[in-house]
């Protein structure tokens, strides 16, 4: 159930005003009522509802009786205390009804709904709507209907309230339900004047906890002489319908101007803070960009060094690979050369072993052609022999060996004839 519905109970009681207190059918009953008590209605003194009040003669207005009762009420937000006050004449005619609740539970959006509901019930728009200047974490709203006039207190009367004194009779209203505090802290404070009407005022903090006060009042019924006279600090006449209303309108205009100035100041402060925040964010962003650029440059340099090192390593590896390939080729060539050389040496040795035994039994006797073929020495020095030449050159030795073999063969076959020839 929405909280604002809890504040519509007084509105619903308008339809059943005669159930709590019996009223005569010829009485002029006002539409402004609280807890079944309407302005102008007469209270039956012998009713059970009246006996719930504690009544005493009024200490402000002669011929009037002040009645009051308090009861505990429980709501969805928690329990609260509700105080009901009534001022009536000797014949029981009601001229003032007040209900004050603390704590009350609602928020700023919920506060507007009862005002709209009362406006539909009364068939009129609020005569006055005032929002409390935002101070100390408190918000508030006040609305009035009918002929009721809210007269702002002047500096002298506010000072008296702050000191706990009263300079004039009457009933007052503020936003927080504490006149002394309102006077000290500069909250709006009004004296109720004018004709019959209705007032609804509420205050609440950020948690939706505050106070609620509703008043049905006809100030002209209990101090008509004060309505036509100014407050002690004022110098001009104030009538209940003409002069008092402009004063209230002027005060409302001043409050609205102050509120607008306060809101403009707050918005300016917020805008300045947002600008400073944006400036700080931009500076942080710039610092972050610079840091990222530095890191990117460092990373680029590292990548370039890495590429350079990689290129150098690849070149070195290629050089080492070329050296290795060259060394392998040289080694292979050396091995091939060694194999070829060893093979040729083995072939030469084999040939020497085959030629040696054939030439050993050769004996030259007499005038051998071999001996004759030896050249004569010139200059007194001996010349190398053909045998020596054979030994020094394998090819020549082979040829000499062949010649010797032929000679030996020739000797064996024609030795006689050769002998004969020599004998001749």
3-state SS track over the chain: CCHHHHHHHHHHHHHHHHHHCCCCCCCCCCCCEECCEECCCECCCCCHHHHCCEEEECCCCCCEEEEEEEEEEEECCEEEEEEEEEEEECCCEEEEEEEEEEEEECCHHHHHHHHHHHHHHHCCCCCEEEECCCECCEEEEEEEEEEEEEEECCHHHHHHHHCCCCCCCCCEEECCCCHHHHHHHCCCEEEEEEEEEEEEEEEECCCCEEEEEEEEEEHHHHCHHHHCCCCCCCCCCCCCCCCHHHHHHHHHHHHHHHHHHHHHHHHHHHHHHHHHHHHHHHHHHHHHHHHHHHHHHHHHHHHHHHHHHHHHHHHHHHHHHHHHHHHHHHHHHHHHHHHHHHHHHHHHHHHHHHHHHHHCCCCCCCCCHHHHCCCCCCCCCCCCCHHHHHHHCHHHHHHHHHHHHHHHHHHHHHHHHHHHHHHC
Residue of 160 and 106 predicted with greater confidence: 160
Lowest-confidence range among 129-138, 150-159, 199-208, 279-288? 129-138
- If pLDDT is split at 50, 70 and 90, which confidence band does 108 have? low
Cis peptide before 103 (omega within 30 of 0): yes
Closest by CA to 363, choosing from 375, 371, 353, is 371
**Residue 378 included in any domain:** no
Residue 200: is its pLDDT beyond 50? yes
pLDDT at 388: 43
Distance between CA atoms of residues 376 and 395, nearest Å: 23
Q: Are residues 236 and 268 in the same domain?
A: no
- If pLDDT is split at 50, 70 and 90, which confidence band does 81 have? very high
Q: Are residues 103 and 142 in the same domain?
A: yes
Closest by CA to 144, choosing from 214, 203, 86, is 214
Distance between CA atoms of residues 388 and 406, nearest Å: 19
For the chain, how many structural domains are there in total?
2
pLDDT at 234: 35
pLDDT at 16: 42
Structure tokens at 177: 């339900």
**Residue 403 included in any domain:** no
pLDDT in tens, 9-51: 444 444 444 444 544 444 567 899 998 899 999 999 999 989 9
Q: Are residues 324 and 200 in the same domain?
A: no
pLDDT at 315: 86
Residue 52: is its pLDDT beyond 50? yes
What is the sign, positive or negative, of the torsion defined by CA atoms of 278, 284, 290, 292?
negative
Lowest-confidence range among 47-61, 266-280, 409-423? 409-423
pLDDT at 127: 93
**Residue 413 included in any domain:** no
**Residue 409 included in any domain:** no
pLDDT at 112: 82
pLDDT in tens, 254-271: 555 665 676 777 777 788
**Residue 388 included in any domain:** no
Residue 356: is its pLDDT beyond 60? no
Distance between CA atoms of residues 338 and 345, nearest Å: 10
Q: Are residues 150 and 63 in the same domain?
A: yes
What is the sign, positive or negative, of the torsion defined by CA atoms of 292, 294, 300, 305?
negative
pLDDT at 321: 85
Residue 58: is its pLDDT beyond 80? yes
For range 365-386, the mean pLDDT: 46
Distance between CA atoms of residues 76 and 394, nearest Å: 136
pLDDT at 30: 86
**Residue 203 included in any domain:** yes
For range 42-62, the mean pLDDT: 93
149: domain range?
3-242
Lowest-confidence range among 54-58, 231-235, 344-348, 371-375? 231-235
| Contact predicate 163/112, CB 8 Å | no
- If pLDDT is split at 50, 70 and 90, which confidence band does 195 have? very high
Residue 182: is its pLDDT beyond 60? yes
**Residue 164 included in any domain:** yes
Distance between CA atoms of residues 104 and 141, nearest Å: 14
Q: Are residues 163 and 291 in the same domain?
A: no
Question: Of the residues 334, 358, 382, which one is the last residue of a structural domain?
Answer: 358
Across 18-22, 68-72, 106-110, 335-339, which has the greatest mean pLDDT?
68-72
Give the percent of the chain with pLDDT over 70.
66
For range 234-242, the mean pLDDT: 34
pLDDT at 129: 92
Please state, rounded to an integer, the average pLDDT across all residues of the chain: 75
Q: Are residues 195 and 341 in the same domain?
A: no
pLDDT at 275: 87
For range 287-315, the mean pLDDT: 88
For range 57-68, the mean pLDDT: 94
Residue 174: is its pLDDT beyond 70? yes
| Contact predicate 69/54, CB 8 Å | yes
Q: Are residues 109 and 237 in the same domain?
A: yes
**CA angle centred on 209, ends 74 and 218, rounded to 5°:** 80
**Residue 380 included in any domain:** no
- If pLDDT is split at 50, 70 and 90, which confidence band does 143 have? very high
Q: Are residues 235 and 288 in the same domain?
A: no
Q: Each residue of 186-221: b (16+ CB within 10 Å) or e?
A: ebbbbbbbbbbbbbbbbbbeeebbbbbbbbbbbbbb
pLDDT at 107: 59
Q: Are residues 220 and 331 in the same domain?
A: no
């Amino acid at each position: 159930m929405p909280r604002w519905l809890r504040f519509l109970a007084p509105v619903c009681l308008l339809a059943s005003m005669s159930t709590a207190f019996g009223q005569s059918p010829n009485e002029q009953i006002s539409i402004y009522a609280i807890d079944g008590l309407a302005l102008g209605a007469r209270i039956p003194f012998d009713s059970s509802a009246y006996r719930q009040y504690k009544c005493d003669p009024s200490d402000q207005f002669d011929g009037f009786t002040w009645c009051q009762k308090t009861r505990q009420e429980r709501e969805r937000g928690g329990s609260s205390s509700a105080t009901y006050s009534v001022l009536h004449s000797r014949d029981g005619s009601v001229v003032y009804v007040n209900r004050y609740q603390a704590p009350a539970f609602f928020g700023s959006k919920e506060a507007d709904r009862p005002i709209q509901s009362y406006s539909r019930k009364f068939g009129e728009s609020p005569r006055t709507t005032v929002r409390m200047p935002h101070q100390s974490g408190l918000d508030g709203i006040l609305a009035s209907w009918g002929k009721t006039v809210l007269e702002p207190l002047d500096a002298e009367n506010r000072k008296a309230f702050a000191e706990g004194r009263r300079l004039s009779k009457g009933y007052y209203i503020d936003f927080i339900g504490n006149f002394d505090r309102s006077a000290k802290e500069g909250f709006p404070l009004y004296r109720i004047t004018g004709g019959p009407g209705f007032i609804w005022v509420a205050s609440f903090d950020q948690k939706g906890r505050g106070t609620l006060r509703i008043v049905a009042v006809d100030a002209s019924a209990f101090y008509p002489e004060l309505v036509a006279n100014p407050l002690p600090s004022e110098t001009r006449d104030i009538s209940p319908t003409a002069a008092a209303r402009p004063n209230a309108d002027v005060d409302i205009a001043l409050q609205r101007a102050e509120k607008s100035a306060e809101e403009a100041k707050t918005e300016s402060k917020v805008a300045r803070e947002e600008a400073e925040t944006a400036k700080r964010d931009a500076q942080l962003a710039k610092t972050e960009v610079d840091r990222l650029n530095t890191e990117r440059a460092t990373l680029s340099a590292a990548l370039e060094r890495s590429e350079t090192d990689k290129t150098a390593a690849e070149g070195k590896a290629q050089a080492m690979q070329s050296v290795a390939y060259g060394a392998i080729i040289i080694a292979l060539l050396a091995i091939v050369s060694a194999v070829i050389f060893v093979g040729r040496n083995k072939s030469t040795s084999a040939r020497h072993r085959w030629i040696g035994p054939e030439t050993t039994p050769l004996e030259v006797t007499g005038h051998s052609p071999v001996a004759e073929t030896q050249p004569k020495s010139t200059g007194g020095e001996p010349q190398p022999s053909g045998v020596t030449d054979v030994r020094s050159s394998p090819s020549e030795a082979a040829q000499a060996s062949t010649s010797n073999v032929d000679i030996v063969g020739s000797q064996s076959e024609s030795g006689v004839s050769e002998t004969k020839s020599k004998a001749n």
